[in-house]
Structure 1
Amino acid sequence: MTIRNIWIITIVVLGIIGLVIVEGFVNPTIEAKQDQYQAEQQNPLTHDFTVLAKYRSPYMGDNSNLSHLNQALPLHEKLNGYQLYLGTFTAQVNYSLDTREMNAEELERILVYNAVANFVMIDNLQTVVYQFENTSQTLRRESAQQWTGTELKELQNPELWNSTVREKLVEPTQVKEAFSQIVDN
């Protein structure tokens, strides 16, 4: 066997070992981390609020921006379209979900979290209507601001967001209180 053949065999063996390492260990680790991150994005208590900054807008009339914002929030896998009512500064977010299929406390936590996030990121949005297959929930900016006790624009700071919103949605009694204060039904 010539030296050239030995080099070729060595390179092929190293390539196969590298392929096994990448496909057998590296890629599954990366995919597991991505899956974990995606799962965390479904829960308001673990959601990455910082990803919402790019959807900041002074005006609610940009349907594409509103769509992308809500696709980055919990419950996005059940989204089923939007309707904007510019005259009343209202956004209707439609879901293909029967609310009886979900834990009521978790749904209330998600709705409060999502609505406040919409109000924080879109300056002139006054009302969000969450339309489900069996019901609808209306949440208002003024009520959200009263619940947070601060100007909603200030909550764009992730630390302030966590202390003012996320930490108030941990306990079931806090979720019920927040939901009853913000929802206008």
Structure 2
Amino acid sequence: MTIKNKWIIALVAIGIIGFVIVEGVVNPRIEAKHTQYEADQQHPMTHDFTALQKYHSPYMGDFSNLSHLNQALPLHDQLNGYQLYPETFTAQVNYSLDTSEMDKEDLEQILVYNATANFVLIDNLEQVVYQFEDTSHALSREAAQQWAGTELKALQDPVQWDSVVRSKLEKPAKVQEAFSQIVDN
């Protein structure tokens, strides 16, 4: 066997070993991290708020931005369209979900989190209506700001967001209190 053939065999062996390592170790680890990240995005306490910063907009009429923002929030897998009401600065977010299928506390926590994120990142949005198959909930900017106890613009900073919003949503009693304060209906 010539040196050239030995080099070819060595390079093929290295290629095969590299392929096995990438497909057998590296890719499964990347996929596991991605799967865990996606699972974390379904709950307000583990959701990555910093990923939402790119959706900040001064106008609720930017439908594409509003759509992408809500597709990055918890319950995004149940989204079923939107309706904008520019005369009242209201966005209706439709879900293909019966609320009886969810734990009441989890639903309330998600709605407060999602609505607050919408108000923080869309400057002129005044009300969000979450329409489910069996009910609807309207949440207002003014009530969210009173609940937060600070200007909503200040919550664009992820540290502020965590200290104000997440800390107020940690305990079940605080979730119920927040939901009853923010919901208009």
The alignment partner of 1:165 has SS state of helix
Equivalences, count: 185
1:104-128: CA deviations, max 9, x gaps? Answer: 1111000000000000001110000
What is residue 13 of structure 1 aligned with on the other side?
13
**Cα deviation 1:79-109 (Å, max 9, x = unaligned):** 0100000000000000010111111111100
Paired amino acid for 1:182: I
Output aligned runs, 1:103-182, within 5 Å.
Answer: 103-182=103-182
Q: CA RMSD in A?
A: 0.6
Q: Which residue of 1 aligns with 2:46?
A: 46
Whole-angstrom distance in 2 between the partners of 1:91 and 1:109: 19
Q: Which residue of 2 aligns with 1:3?
A: 3
- Gaps of at least 5 residues in structure 2 are none
AA partner of residue 160 (structure 1): Q
**SS across alignment from 1:92:** strand
- Distance in 1 (CA, whole Å) between partners of 2:94 and 2:33 is 30
Q: 5 Å matches for 1:89-104?
A: 89-104=89-104
Q: Deviations over 1:127-160 (max 9, x none)?
A: 0000001100000001000000001111001111
Residue 56 of structure 2 aligns with an amino acid whose one-letter code is R
* Aligned-residue identity in percent: 73
Q: Hey, what does 2:67 align to over in structure 1?
A: 67
> 1:17 Cα deviation (Å)?
0.4
- Normalised by the size of structure 1, how large is the TM-score? 0.99
